[in-house]
Amino acid sequence: MMELDRVSVAFGEALALREASLRIEAGARLGIVGESGCGKSMLGLCLMGMVPDAAVVSGAIRLNGRDLAGASEAVWRRHRARDVAMIFQEPMAALNPLSRIGDTVMEPLLVHEGLSRAEARDRAIALFEEVGIPEPAARLRQYPHEISGGQRQRVLIALALTCNPGLLVADEPTTALDANVALRIIELLVRLSETRNMALVFISHDLAAVARATQTIAVMYGGDVVERGPTAQVLSAPRHPYTIGLLGARPGLGDRGRGADGRRRRLVTIPGNVPPLFDLPAGCRFSGRCSQEIAQCAGTRPVAHVLDGGQEASCHLLAPAAPGRAGAVT
């Protein structure tokens, strides 16, 4: 349905996204994970045609086969809301605090769909019911500050659904929410994707959230998609050293406790810090922090190696001729 073909986003010398390619099938749920500054939000903005003016975009962004990479704002606006819609991390910031949530949701129905007020109201109530907002008719008259964070995110989802988009881009939709509420929002997004046959791109730093919400996953680091494949498979048998490190660094609930020496077990760490965009190595972006680095990593960009089961990882160690092939580490 939507496809990014070797899309790069450059701010001067710095590449926020380096030749990223993605396919989003109709009704499919794709997760994008990575740490801050890895380019995952920029990727979301590419899908919406909302890349900042200061950036230079190259490559192809195809929506239903049509390349929109160089398209004007006017062209993109015809597609936003109808074909692709987006929700954000901070639901309070995305709602006008001075207008009733009903008016906010009805506005696109009145403007874009040309409905009468009564029709728009009925549609808004139906949408609120669909996203699980209790007593929708009463909610229409409330202001954003009168409802909880989880309910606000539901309102934003309802707003995103007003024009029946084929793709919903959710950028960190659960990060600002408490764990239980976040779970409910994820369940809602999955259900909406299934019942409406709507594609979902779920962007998050939270591996647990992505694991629940998606079927396929793309792991990003330093503007590159470093690994991708079926979500369960990538998370249970990661092949890229970064994915392996990320999973190891995550405190799990498994057997932590203490080792034989009475000291607490330490977490696996990735040394160093996420480097700033303008200070990335030219070859593999992960070189310099990678524990299995070999000679060509810093200078040569690894190609994506296709592995079993539709998994792909961009790492020199996965090349057929590479010394000491990676992947044994789990």
Site string for another protein, 245-284 (x = CB under 8 A): xx-xxxxxx--xx-----xxxxxxxxx-xx----------
Specify the pairing of strand 29-33 against strand 199-204: parallel
Q: Which is nearer to another protein, 128 or 202 (CB)?
A: 202
Contact between 180 and another protein (CB under 8 A)?
Answer: yes
Spatial separation of the C-alpha atoms in residues 317 and 2, rounded to whole Å: 31
Q: Which is nearer to another protein, 162 or 231 (CB)?
A: 231
Paired tokens of 192: 């909406």
Query: Least distance from C-beta 38 to another protein, angstroms?
Result: 9
Site string for another protein, 11-50 (x = CB under 8 A): ------------------------xx--------------
Asked if residue 44 lies in contact with residue 171, where contact means CB atoms within 8 angstroms, the answer is yes
Query: Least distance from C-beta 116 to another protein, angstroms?
Result: 33
Query: Least distance from C-beta 109 to another protein, angstroms?
Result: 27
Q: Which is nearer to another protein, 110 or 237 (CB)?
A: 237
Query: Least distance from C-beta 183 to another protein, angstroms?
Result: 5
Q: Which is nearer to another protein, 254 or 323 (CB)?
A: 254
Q: Which is nearer to another protein, 98 or 253 (CB)?
A: 253
Binder among 147, 163, 183, 190 for another protein (CB under 8 A): 183
Residues in the chain: 330
Binder among 69, 110, 190, 208 for another protein (CB under 8 A): 208
Query: Least distance from C-beta 93 to another protein, angstroms?
Result: 14
Spatial separation of the C-alpha atoms in residues 289 and 241, rounded to whole Å: 10
> Which span (90-98, 108-116, 240-248, 300-308) binds another protein, by CB under 8 A?
240-248
Query: Least distance from C-beta 147 to another protein, angstroms?
Result: 15
Q: Which is nearer to another protein, 65 or 271 (CB)?
A: 271
- 43-66 as b/e: b if 16+ CB within 10 A: bbbbbbbebeeebebebbbebeee
Query: Least distance from C-beta 204 to another protein, angstroms?
Result: 11
Contact between 145 and another protein (CB under 8 A)?
Answer: no
> Which span (99-107, 160-168, 178-186, 313-321) binds another protein, by CB under 8 A?
178-186
List residues binding another protein (CB under 8 A).
35-36, 178-180, 182-183, 205, 207-208, 211, 235, 245-246, 248-253, 256-257, 263-271, 273-274
